[in-house]
Structure 1
Amino acid sequence: MELKDKVAVITGGASGLGEATVRRYCAQGARVAIFDMNEERGRAIAEELGESVIYCNVNVCDEASVSAGIETTLTAFGAIHLCSNYAGVADAAKTVGRNGAFPLELFQKVININLLGTFNVLRLVAEVMSRQEPVTEDGTRGVIINTASVAAFEGQMGQAAYSASKGGIVGMTLPVARDLAAYGIRVNTIAPGLIHTPMCDSLPAETVAALSDNVPFPSRLGKPDEIARLAQSIVENEYINGEVIRCDGAVRMQPR
C-alpha cells in the first residue's frame, strides 16, 4: 500500500515515535489524525503540518473517546487505511521493593494503557477498515502497526508491568492478523530498542553515552525517524503480515 492519499490514525502522535511517524506519513502524502491527550502539543503539530493533519483528544482506554476520534477522522478524511499505535507509559517498580509489593493499581494502569488501549483502538479501527473497498491489487483494506519493545523479550528489573504489557502486544500480533486476514487487513508489531526520544534530553550526557555503549552496532541510540521509516516499509510491503520486527541495533537488555 502506498502512503500517498491514504488516511492514518496515529495514537501517541503528539510526541516521540508517534510524532516522527506523523511527520513521515505526511511527507509521503498521507492524511493523519493524531490521537493523543496532550492537546497543546497535538494541536501545534496539526497547525504546523496544515490541512493534512487533525488532532483528536483521545483516551485510548476509553471506548467512547476512541469512537469519537474515529468519527471525527471519518468526517474530516472519509476513510481510515492505516493505524499506528504508539500510546503508552513506562512506569516502573520492583515486584517487592523498599515500600513493599508492586502497587496493583500501577500494574493495572500500565496494562490498561499499553495493552488494552492498543487493542481498544485497533479493534474499532479494524471494524471501519473492514467496511471499506480494497485499495491494492492484493485486496488490502488496511494496515495496523502496534508498538511493543525489546522489554517484551528481555525485561529489566522493575519492568514487570511494562514487559507484561509489551509481551501481550507481541502475543496478540499473529492471532489478530489471522482474525483480520479475511478482511484484507494486515497486522504487524514493531519492537524498538533504545530510542532517543525527548525523554532522553533530560538525562545526563554520561547516561546517554552508557546506554549507547550497550548497543552493538551502530553504537548509539536509535532515532525516532528510524522507527517511522520501518513503519513506512511495513505499510508499503504487502507480504509483511503477522510479524514482530525488532529495531534495536542488536541490543539485548541486561538485568539492570
Structure 2
Amino acid sequence: MAAIERNPSVFHVLKSKTAIITGGANGIVAEVVRLFHSHGANVVIADLLSTKTAAETLISSLSSRVVFIPTDILTWQSMVSLFNQTVSLFGSVELVVANAGMMESKPYYEFEEDENGDLKEPKESYRVIDVNLKGTMNTLRLAIYYMRKNQPSFADGSKGSVVLISSTSGYFGGTGVVSYVSSKHGVTGLLRSSQRNANRHGVRVNGVAPFFTPTYITSSYSQSWKESGLPANSVQDVAWAFAQTATDLKYKGACILVRAPALLMNTKLMMKAFGSVMKEIEIPRTQLLSMWLGEDVSESSARAGALFESLGGYPLPKPKI
C-alpha cells in the first residue's frame, strides 16, 4: 500500500461549510476543531455537558464560528436537537466527524461475583458497545438524513461528508480489549454496509483508523509505549487525517490508517518533517479477497453481491408476529 501524500489544497472546501464534531471538546478531535475552523468552517462541538468547561476554553481561543451544544449521542432526541440547532444556527450541515467514543476500564473476562456468588452483568461493556457503535450509528443516520436535503455542496456534486472513527482495533483484535475491539469492528462494518444508501443520497462516508495515539484512553500505558520505542502518532497528525479524509473528494467508502513510521521515532527533526503515514486500507482488503478466500468463494461472493444490487439491496425478512 502506497502512503497517501498530505494534500492541504483540499481543505479549501471547508470554507463557509458547517461541521458537527462529536466528542470534540478534548483530545484528538479538539485539534480537528481547530483545523476545520482555521480553514473557514463553522464548527459545532457536540459533547457531554460535563465537558462544557473544556469546550468553552477551546472556543475562547477561536471565534464566534464555533459553538458548543451539549449532546448525548445515545439519546435520540438529544441527537435530533443537535442537528436541528445546528441547522437553525448555520443553515445546513455539510460535514460530520463521528468521533465520540470510550474504552472499558475493567477486563470483560474479569469474573466478578455478586453477594450471591453469581457472575455480575458486564454493564460497563454494554455501555462501550452503546457509545462506540450505537452512538456512531445514530450520528451517521441523522447526518445522511439532514445532508440529503442539501443542495450539492462539493465539486463532485455530493451533498455532505461523514467521517467515522474506527481504529486499528477495528481491523485487528489481539489486544483482548473485548468491548472496545468489538465496537470498532462494528464501526468498520457500519462503514461498509452504509455505502449503497449513502451514495444514493449523495453523501460520502469514509473512516479513519488511527494506530496508537497518546490520549486519555491510552494514558495507562503511554509511558511504557514511549520507553519501548514503538511508533506513536501525534494528535495533530491524526487530526490532519480526519480533515483530509473529510475533504478529499476521491474518498468514498475508504478507511485511512494513520500510523507513525517506526524508523523515524528516534529522530525528532525527521518526525517533525514527515509526521505519521496515512494509508488507505479498504481497497487493498477488497483486492486481496480472492487470495484470502480462494477464487471460487470470492467469485461466488461477487455474484451474490451483484444479485442483491439488482434486487435494490438485501431483501429484508418480514417481522415475526
TM-score, with structure 2 as normaliser = 0.71
CA deviation after TM superposition for structure 1 residue 156, in Å: 4.2
CA deviation after TM superposition for structure 1 residue 208, in Å: 4.1
1:116 to 126, 134, 151: 134
Inter-partner Cα distance in structure 2 for 1:163 and 1:102: 21
Inter-partner Cα distance in structure 1 for 2:128 and 2:187: 13
SS in 2 for 1:49: coil
The residue that corresponds to 2:27 in the other structure is 16
1:204–1:22: structure 2 CA closer, same or farther, 3 Å change rule?
same
SS in 2 for 1:51: coil
Per-residue CA deviation, residues 122-173 of structure 1 (Å, 9 max, x unaligned), is: 1112111000100123211000001011112233444110001000000111
Per-residue CA deviation, residues 74-110 of structure 1 (Å, 9 max, x unaligned), is: 1111110000011000114434225366843122100
2:69 to 34, 52, 56: 56
SS in 2 for 1:145: strand
Structure 2 unmatched runs, 5+: 1-9, 114-118, 263-321
Corresponding residue pairs, total: 244
2:43 to 32, 37, 49: 32
Question: What one-letter code is carried by the residue in structure 2 that aligns with 1:3?
Answer: L
Q: Is the 8 A contact 1:130 1:185 kept in 2?
A: yes
1:154–1:175: structure 2 CA closer, same or farther, 3 Å change rule?
closer
The residue that corresponds to 2:269 in the other structure is none
Q: Is the 8 A contact 2:108 2:179 kept in 1?
A: no
1:194-213 matches, within 5 Å, as 194-197=212-215, 206-210=223-227, 213=229
Inter-partner Cα distance in structure 1 for 2:144 and 2:222: 42
1:76 to 89, 93, 113: 89
1:123-162 matches, within 5 Å, as 123-162=141-180
Question: What one-letter code is carried by the residue in structure 1 that aligns with 2:189?
Answer: G
Q: Is 1:240 aligned with 2:251? A: yes
The residue that corresponds to 2:270 in the other structure is none
Structure 1 unmatched runs, 5+: 216-220, 252-256
CA deviation after TM superposition for structure 1 residue 15, in Å: 0.5
Q: Which has the higher contact order (CA 8 A, sep 6+)?
A: 1
> Over the residues paired in the alignment, what is the CA RMSD in angstroms?
2.1
Q: Is the 8 A contact 2:169 2:184 kept in 1?
A: yes
Q: Is the 8 A contact 1:3 1:235 kept in 2?
A: no
Q: Is 1:214 aligned with 2:230? A: yes
Inter-partner Cα distance in structure 1 for 2:87 and 2:237: 29
CA deviation after TM superposition for structure 1 residue 203, in Å: 5.5
Q: Is the 8 A contact 1:94 1:102 kept in 2?
A: no
Q: Is the 8 A contact 2:108 2:125 kept in 1?
A: no
Higher-Rg member (1/2): 2
1:167 to 185, 188, 197: 185
CA deviation after TM superposition for structure 1 residue 46, in Å: 2.1
Inter-partner Cα distance in structure 2 for 1:30 and 1:189: 20
1:209–1:177: structure 2 CA closer, same or farther, 3 Å change rule?
same
1:116–1:21: structure 2 CA closer, same or farther, 3 Å change rule?
same
Inter-partner Cα distance in structure 2 for 1:205 and 1:148: 20
SS in 2 for 1:97: coil
CA deviation after TM superposition for structure 1 residue 199, in Å: 5.6
Q: Is 1:106 aligned with 2:120? A: no
